[in-house]
Copies of this chain bind each other. A is one copy, B any other.
């Protein structure tokens, strides 16, 4: 990334490398008409490859190391279309003829990449609009992230876009890297080419240039995972995460989507898009704690509540949450390799290890992630025994070392893989490998094939000598095996895969709630009939909750709150004196269906208590869910309502009864 000083003329605005994007609220965008993907059409769809397409680089420069030069160099390295550098100061840049303005470029231009000083950007957009260029990617910085003056410039640019219909990507962004097509539309250091630019099936959308630059170089050079597309959305003044999410959901080269976001342009649309696809989506939401939000921006909303709200909304839409960049990458890698696990899969894991200690520690960590050790069938044990010494009957975890001494590692790993993959009591395989120093060779290709044939996800922990570990990681990646350097992370990913929120079925959420909950089932025959009927409705997806219609007692609480970012939300939690200390609360975005509400209840830590606990009557979840639905509807129906608190909601003979309630109206807040 180039270093230098701000430049007033063509040649590159070095504020581009200002990664940090401030939190932006776009309340007005909710009603924004969704326009066709003109910008995407100009560089992402297939037709772009079938004809000779053209990209203009406005602000290109011959000065090596500057952003305006790097963009041209990166294009030349991978892009097969025509490249037109634009800068009145040059006749030629990087061997290409240079034009004084976009008006002078000969062919129709599909995309303009703009890297000029911020104050010149509005003029360039006007020029592009006049040339009927459908999309402009503004990589210059110096806009809303720098204060009021920059904010005004951004508004001006936005007005031109609104008037002309031209689509704008950015500003203050690192553009796009498409590893499959080898398109690097970015000021990212050309070192990225040396690190491999490994193609994979994970795509990222990032509200930070870091993930499209520094972190991408890290992922690539460490062989962590391959990438399809990385989209750095910057200040997202026009093209936002929802535009890109919609595109990537339909992208055949993308199997899993990861996002780093510090703000949602329209969270409800984001949720609707996520619900409308079976493609796995992972989010790292920056600023979700009080501390993180304070770091992101200071505003008046209740920040820690917002974090819990966002988590509730994500779970509601079936989106996986990550907490760190590498965890985001590892979750995406896992989901990219195993986007669909068989619906009958449970959580039973076979652990194949060369060291008992790692087997034991794996089992300990699995225990805390809701995974269990498979109970092997007699046939499996018999099969394993054929490569084991007599003195050591195999068990799970399979400590293969004694077998390896007798029969060599390839044979024992192979035999063990075959045996556990054939066992119907095994849902996933966790294999431990060592690279370097002593001969522990394994046939990764065979192992991958065996697992794939059995439809069982395979996970691998690798340790050993640095160079050989790296080779191992690259080979495993080629064979589609997710490899991890720490047992904890491998197990975390396994747990995520088996327990990830499944969300609400697309199209069903807001229509058929009455048909997704069947009450008054009095016989086993009736139950079977209803389950069959539900399964038909669910089309093999989702899960069915069977619960007794009886009573119990405890204290819960429920509420409604209007969040400045997410709008009307419903809360449910453990109540009474335990409420605050144990902090067992969940959130959902209103209006809720009953199914939504039941999913919310199921996310409570105390959910097991609701099913009838120590002689108490079980809680009528439907009744509880109905309260949540009604709270949401009430709040939505009356815009004056800012907040409703029902605490405690005493469970009397299984029925939730509101004993105390508080409604806060918005008048006083609005009059501020």
Contact = CB atoms under 8 A, between A and B. Distances in A.
Interface of A: 1-6, 14-15, 17-21, 146-147, 149-150, 188-189, 191-192, 195, 206-211, 213-215, 217-218, 221-222, 260, 262, 284, 286-292, 294-296, 323-327, 351, 354-368, 372-373, 391-392, 396-397, 399, 401-402, 404-406, 408, 434, 436-439, 463-467, 469-470, 485-488, 554, 577-578, 580-582, 584, 605-606, 608-609, 613-614, 616
Contacts of A373: 291, 294-295
Contacts of A289: 363-364, 367-368
A191 B465 contact: yes
A360 B191 contact: no
- Which interface residue of A20, A284, A360, A465 has the most chain B CB atoms within 10 A? A360
A146 B613 contact: no
B488 A323 contact: yes
Q: A14, A326, A397, A581: which has the most chain B beta carbons within 10 Å?
A: A581
A408 B17 CA distance: 13
Contacts of A577: 554, 609, 613-614, 616
A225 to B, nearest CB: 14
A358 to B, nearest CB: 6
B465 A470 contact: no
Given A324-B486, A358-B325, A391-B147, A218 B286 contact: no
Given A360-B286, A577-B616, A436 B292 contact: no
Nearest to A396: B295
Which 8 A-B residue pairings sit nearest by Cβ, starting from the closest? A20-B356, A292-B364, A1-B438, A208-B357, A289-B367, A191-B437, A295-B363, A291-B367
Nearest to A485: B326
A289 B296 CA distance: 38
B291 A364 contact: yes
**Which of A14, A358, A404, A584 lies at the interface centre, i.e. has the most chain B CB atoms within 10 A of its CB?**
A358
Contact of A221 (B354, B391, B436): B436
B392 A146 contact: yes
Contact of A466 (B324, B361, B470): B470
B361 A286 contact: yes
A210 B357 contact: yes
Contacts of A210: 355, 357-358
A130 to B, nearest CB: 32
Given A2-B438, A292-B363, A357 B20 contact: yes
Contacts of A217: 436-437, 464-465
Contacts of A578: 578, 582, 606, 609
Contact of A3 (B287, B296, B405): B405
Contacts of A294: 363, 373
Given A292-B364, A324-B361, A580-B613, 7 more contacts: A146-B392, A208-B355, A218-B469, A291-B372, A295-B373, A327-B486, A577-B609
A579 to B, nearest CB: 8
A150 B389 CA distance: 14
B326 A401 contact: no
A325 B487 contact: yes
14 contacts: A2-B438, A3-B439, A4-B405, A191-B437, A209-B355, A210-B355, A218-B465, A221-B464, A222-B466, A292-B367, A296-B356, A327-B488, A466-B470, A580-B608
B581 A405 contact: no
A288 B364 contact: yes
Contacts of A613: 577, 580-581
B356 A19 contact: yes
A405 B18 contact: yes
A289 B360 CA distance: 9
Nearest to A604: B581
Given A208-B355, A325-B487, A391-B147, A361 B397 contact: no
